[in-house]
């Protein structure tokens, strides 16, 4: 465990609490950075008694949120989210992301696309010049996975079928993940669209134009990057 990095994650997560307001419907991302946010949010709810409702982006987040006493709801009940707080695997200067290192990209993207505001919390190692150093996670249906894999290879990626503890990794939605190593991704929007046109692909981890603010833990500080500023 890299303690410096954990501190940066925790600081960014704590900062995000400042943007949570009474009565909000909140989307909850997934991952180790979001874990710190959930912990702080649970504490805040207990101490300040403020009322919010949250939609989790994964079974894992749902479980952790319950443990921390965070009230949960669903996208059936609440169609619009006021704010979603989530982590990322890579963030570029235009606030485009690669997500899905934890395999929750599909529900995370659904929350991001239905949220009035999306705040991303990261440690400083996640900031990149160009996306693509981190292999792009692509969620695909199990049926015909080898053919889908070949189509992705046809786009120039080196493709790995994701495994967990020796077994093929299965998402909360019952799908597989193919991790696609491209060279630097020059046109994220274009690649996002092209990948999603392949039959068998459910969604990919490129998030383009969905983010309003990035909170970056850097040493002991947290940098607040807002769209159009500080970039």
| Binding-site ranges for ligand A5P (CB under 6 A) | 29-33, 86-89, 99-105, 108
Nearer to ligand A5P, 58 or 148 (CB): 58
- For ligand A5P, the closer of residues 56 and 87 by Cβ is 87
**Residue nearer to ligand A5P on the CB measure, 108 or 229:** 108
What does residue 89 show for φ and ψ, rounded to 5 degrees? Answer: -90, -35
Q: How far is the CB of 190 from ligand A5P (least distance, A)?
A: 21
Task: Work out how close the CB of 120 gets to ligand A5P at its nearest, in angstroms, rounded to a whole number.
Answer: 8
Full DSSP string of 91-123? E-TTS-EE--TTS-HHHHHHHHHTBS-EEEEEE
Q: How far is the CB of 116 from ligand A5P (least distance, A)?
A: 20
Give Cβ neighbours of residue 178 (< 8 Å, ≥ 6 apart).
Answer: 137, 138, 140, 145, 148, 149, 152, 159, 160, 161, 162
d(CA 132, CA 111): 23
Element holding 161 (H helix, E strand): strand 158-161
Catalytic center residues = 108
Q: Nearest-CB residue to ligand A5P? A: 31
């Amino acid at each position: 465990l890299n303690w410096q990095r954990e501190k940066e994650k925790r600081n960014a997560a704590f900062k995000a609490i400042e943007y949570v307001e009474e009565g909000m419907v909140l989307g909850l991302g997934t991952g180790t950075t979001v874990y710190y946010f959930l912990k702080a949010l649970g504490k805040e709810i207990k101490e300040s008694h403020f009322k919010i409702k949250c939609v989790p982006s994964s079974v894992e987040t749902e479980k952790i949120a319950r443990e921390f006493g965070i009230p949960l709801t669903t996208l059936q009940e609440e169609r619009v989210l006021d704010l979603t707080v989530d982590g990322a695997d890579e963030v570029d200067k235009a606030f485009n992301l690669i997500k899905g290192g934890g395999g929750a990209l599909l529900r995370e993207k659904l929350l991001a696309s239905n949220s009035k505001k999306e705040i991303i919390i990261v440690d400083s190692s996640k900031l990149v010049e160009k996306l693509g150093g981190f292999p792009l996670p692509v969620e695909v249906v199990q049926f015909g996975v080898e053919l889908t894999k070949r189509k992705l290879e046809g786009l120039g990626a080196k493709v790995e079928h994701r495994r967990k503890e020796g077994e093929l990794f299965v998402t909360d939605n019952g799908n597989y993940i193919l991790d696609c190593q491209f060279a630097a991704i020059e046109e994220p929007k274009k690649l996002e669209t092209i990948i999603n046109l392949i039959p068998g692909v459910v969604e990919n981890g490129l998030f383009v134009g969905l983010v309003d603010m990035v909170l970056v833990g850097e040493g002991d500080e947290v940098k607040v990057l807002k769209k159009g500023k500080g970039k």
